């Protein structure tokens, strides 16, 4: 029977497979009345991990019961029940020293980069395709290609933002449709991109005195600048990567910080750095696209718009949807108003209305209008984000599942 007993011992481990047990734990229930001078010590050695990490005596009691220790077993250790046995074990257990406590598990990296990285390239690719198609077509076909291309790009952007770091999946904001940007804010974002596409041309036309007819007719095409569109489409990839850097960095800081102040102090530089990286990326892409397309465009205006959109999106996915909506609306109205004022100034006796815009354009050129509007908006949002995204509660995890009774 000795051999059988040995086998039973070896199998004790396996029986406990349902619970986390350190490798090499001897069987749990003592085979008989413990013979040593300090039977509880032997039991503590067997359950060393449980004793070290227990936060109170009841946790040890729960763990012991899960390993098959009953009141009858506790009686062998001269205790009335498992609870008093657990209390002795808790009182005697050497707590793990503060220095030995690891700094917390590394923050979950989220889904593997490959998938959302590919999605992030989609808007850029669609933009490039659309621009190329526009170059090769003329007349009616060009209009069709343009409309289809814009729709495709919009779909691509939506796909790119639906998953990955620029989406709010796994965020604290509850509700089934939480990742959706409020519709108003999205419409204003598209309007800003639309202005980047043809606003400068319209403004120029208004200031120099044409056109007097709808475009597309005798007086030629829409005054479109494709560079900002292409640059912004391509910049989705750096935007997603920036957001990924931000999220990963925040996860690290959260796990490493001991206090909310400490976290806020480290989160702000992180945000500023991420926005700076994105600004540089959009500027570079914009300059490159301008060269490739042989167009005249100011990278600064595009970069300001890119930064504005990135910060707005970051705020939105962290649950702050109000401020981005307000700022995007304000910037949009500013741009619309500047174009409308210029055209209104051409009405007899209304020259004064166009005055401010004319002054700005005469000093810095047409690009100054979107640059100033988007830059100011981005600055306001950045200040807001520095306050809001430095709050730890903005990065709270989604609610955990309640523990099951089984």
Q: Which of residues 171-230 bind another protein (CB under 8 A)?
A: 172-176
The minimum distance between CB 381 and another protein, in angstroms, equals: 19
Region of 14-22, 120-128, 293-301, 326-334 interacting with another protein (CB under 8 A): 14-22
Q: What angle do CA 322, 313, 179 make, to 5 degrees?
A: 80
- Asked whether the bond before 211 is cis by omega within 30 degrees of 0, the reply is yes
6 binds another protein (CB under 8 A): no
The minimum distance between CB 28 and another protein, in angstroms, equals: 7
83 binds another protein (CB under 8 A): yes
Closest to another protein by CB, 5 or 351: 5
Q: Which of residues 232-261 bind another protein (CB under 8 A)?
A: 251, 253-260
Total residues contacting another protein (rule CB under 8 A)? 75
* Residue choice 22, 41, 48, 53 for contact with another protein (CB under 8 A): 53
326 binds another protein (CB under 8 A): no
Place of tokens 């009686």: 75
63 binds another protein (CB under 8 A): yes
The minimum distance between CB 20 and another protein, in angstroms, equals: 6
Q: What letter would DSSP give residue 78?
A: T
395 binds another protein (CB under 8 A): yes
Q: Which of residues 257-296 bind another protein (CB under 8 A)?
A: 257-260, 262-263
Closest to another protein by CB, 73 or 225: 73
Contact call for residues 196 and 225 (beta carbons, < 8 A): yes
Pull the structure tokens for residue 67.
């390993």
Closest to another protein by CB, 18 or 349: 18
Contact call for residues 30 and 74 (beta carbons, < 8 A): no
- Contact string 153-172 vs another protein (x = CB under 8 A): -------------------x
* Residue choice 41, 45, 68, 148 for contact with another protein (CB under 8 A): 68
Residue 9 CB neighbour total at 10 angstroms: 12
Q: What letter would DSSP give residue 397?
A: P
The minimum distance between CB 397 and another protein, in angstroms, equals: 5
Q: What angle do CA 217, 222, 226 make, to 5 degrees?
A: 150
Nearest to 195 by CA among 402, 403, 336, 376: 336
Contact call for residues 146 and 130 (beta carbons, < 8 A): yes
Q: Return d(Cα 321, Cα 314) in angstroms, integer.
A: 10
Closest to another protein by CB, 58 or 118: 58
SS3 content of the chain, % helix, strand, coil (to 5): 70, 0, 30
Contact call for residues 185 and 312 (beta carbons, < 8 A): yes
């Amino acid at each position: 029977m000795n051999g059988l007993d040995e086998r039973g011992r070896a199998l004790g481990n396996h029986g406990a497979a349902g619970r986390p047990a350190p490798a090499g734990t001897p069987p749990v229930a003592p085979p008989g009345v413990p013979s040593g001078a300090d039977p509880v010590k032997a039991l503590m050695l067997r359950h060393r991990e449980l004793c070290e990490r227990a936060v109170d005596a009841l946790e040890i009691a729960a763990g012991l019961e899960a390993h098959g220790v009953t009141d009858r077993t506790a009686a062998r250790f001269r205790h009335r029940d498992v609870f008093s046995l657990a209390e002795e074990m808790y009182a005697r257990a050497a707590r793990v020293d503060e220095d030995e406590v690891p700094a917390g598990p590394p923050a979950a990296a989220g889904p593997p980069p490959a998938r959302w990285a590919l999605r992030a390239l989609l808007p850029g690719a669609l933009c490039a395709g659309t621009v190329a198609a526009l170059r090769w077509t003329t007349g009616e076909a060009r209009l069709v290609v343009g409309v289809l291309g814009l729709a495709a790009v919009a779909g691509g952007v939506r796909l790119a933002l639906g998953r990955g770091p620029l989406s709010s999946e796994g965020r604290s904001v509850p509700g089934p449709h939480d990742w959706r940007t409020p519709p108003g804010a999205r419409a204003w974002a598209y309007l800003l991109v639309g202005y980047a596409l043809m606003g400068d041309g319209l403004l120029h036309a208004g200031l120099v005195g044409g056109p007097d007819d709808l475009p597309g007719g005798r007086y030629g095409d829409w005054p479109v600048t494709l560079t900002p569109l292409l640059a912004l489409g391509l910049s989705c990839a750096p935007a997603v990567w920036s957001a990924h850097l931000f999220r990963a960095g925040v996860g690290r800081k959260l796990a490493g910080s001991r206090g909310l102040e400490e976290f806020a102090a480290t989160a702000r530089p992180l945000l500023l750095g991420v926005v700076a990286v994105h600004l540089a990326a959009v500027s570079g892409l914009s300059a490159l696209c301008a060269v490739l397309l042989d167009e005249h465009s100011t990278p600064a205006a595009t970069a300001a718009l890119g930064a504005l959109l990135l910060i707005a999106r970051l705020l939105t996915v962290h649950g702050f949807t109000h401020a981005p909506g307000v700022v995007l609306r304000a910037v949009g109205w500013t741009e619309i108003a500047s174009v409308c004022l210029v055209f209104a100034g051409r009405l007899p006796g209304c020259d004064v209305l166009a005055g401010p815009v004319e002054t700005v354009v005469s000093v810095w050129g047409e690009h100054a209008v979107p640059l100033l509007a988007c830059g100011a908006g981005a600055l306001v949002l950045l200040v807001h984000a520095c306050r809001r995204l430095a709050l730890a509660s903005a990065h709270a995890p989604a609610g955990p599942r309640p523990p099951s009774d089984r």
